[in-house]
A and B are shown apart, each in its own frame.
Chain A
């Protein structure tokens, strides 16, 4: 393309030179004047007309060539004025700019070729990566903690019984296949843990001596009449949400029970912040989720 342009430039220059020559010729003949004779007049006018025609033709040639010429690149519009600098030999900035412009043009062209060559390879690689990521994602969306066979649940709870010796556990199945864990923590409290598979659905804490009025074994829905156990139920519900791991239901059950067994000292441990047992009619009913230290509900903030 660049060569094309130089060729047309050269042609344009030639045409211009031709035009100048023909115009000079016309003026020359006008300046010289010519002896006009009777018979010669018509021939002189004809010769002058001919030279004007040449000028006209040359001019149209120049116009044609100039229309085919493209304006200089607009990428470096202002730098074009550098080329007018008379001291171009001392400070060859414009040439350098042109050079680098050409070079960068070349690089971008080559990069385009390279991109088109490499595209199919890149595509195949990316698609494989994407599919594996998608497979992982699919697993992530569907945690399986709720769909555990009852035998597996029992095996898991048997393992947990050894890991958390302070809590005595009993499995009941009052609602069909899903288990309800009856927890007894020392001589302090009782708790019911409704499980869906291995995921904890609900926890209800009641006093050791509290029994249901209707003598049923389902203590899931009746709140404790004591303020302290209602508070503990609230704390435990918050902890269930905190310890929820969608992919590792056994882990979440274990961490919850590990935290919950710290309520063994519900009445006897003083608050870590204020150092007292009693505050507003309640003992420290909150156990920190990380350090499992006891705090009053007001003191933990």
Chain B
């Protein structure tokens, strides 16, 4: 597992998301990257059913369940508190059970409506780098662009940050000036797959907030 940086790539006014994605793809291909298929990261949010719980005073608890096509056999679940659980895909079945009521009893969790988000797009390989250009959609509405760059041979962000920055700036420009906050907080530690999921979740939450506040997506 290498170091992964996920950036939200801004869509300039007067341009559609697809145009920006196309130009990014063209630039990455010019660098010599080879397309090696597609990828997807999806996120579903569930909230605790407060009526069913015994402690009514506790605030509403959320649980985000994410899947990453890079780790197809795993299911990631993240709580509000930041606790991350990495389990087998069978965890989906457990969530399904928790969300379905049984014999008159209400379910423990219920799915938030229209909250399913997904980042999908082509996956490129350039020597040891993996570049993914994903278009984010929420309930089939386009929300923005997320670019993920992974350098697989190295697991410590401090070691390879300068190397990654040079590559990323060659096709993303100033967007990749500093490492993503999550990576910045643990520059000297080993990077783990859960960190990638947290980066995606952070971006998904931001996109959601922008929608709630009614801001135009840039």
Contact = CB atoms under 8 A, between A and B. Distances in A.
Given A280-B32, A281-B32, A227 B159 contact: no
Interface residues of A, number: 20
Chain B interface size, under 10 / 10 to 19 / 20 to 34 / 35 or more: 20 to 34
A187 B126 contact: no
B98 interface: no
A276 interface: yes
A208 B190 CA distance: 11
B159 A268 contact: yes
Interface in B154-176: 154-156, 158-160, 162-163, 166-167, 170
A278 interface: yes
A236 to B, nearest CB: 15
Main secondary structure of the interface of A (DSSP, over half): loop
Interface in A183-230: 187-188, 207-209, 226-229
A37 to B, nearest CB: 142
Interface in A167-191: 187-188
A280 B126 CA distance: 8
B100 interface: no
B159 A188 contact: yes
Contacts of A209: 1, 155
B138 to A, nearest CB: 34
A228 B167 CA distance: 15
A226 B1 contact: no
A281 B127 CA distance: 5
A281 B167 CA distance: 8
A280 B127 contact: yes
A282 interface: yes
B155 A208 contact: yes
B180 interface: no
B160 A267 contact: yes
Interface of B: 1, 32, 126-129, 151-156, 158-160, 162-163, 166-167, 170, 190
Given A267-B159, A278-B167, 15 more contacts: A188-B159, A207-B153, A208-B155, A226-B128, A227-B127, A228-B153, A268-B159, A268-B160, A270-B162, A277-B166, A280-B32, A281-B32, A281-B126, A282-B127, A283-B160
22 contacts: A187-B155, A187-B159, A187-B190, A188-B159, A207-B152, A208-B155, A209-B1, A226-B152, A226-B153, A228-B127, A228-B128, A266-B159, A267-B153, A267-B154, A267-B163, A268-B163, A277-B163, A278-B163, A281-B127, A281-B128, A282-B128, A283-B160
- 4 pairs of A and B residues whose beta carbons are closest in the complex: A281-B127, A278-B166, A267-B160, A277-B163
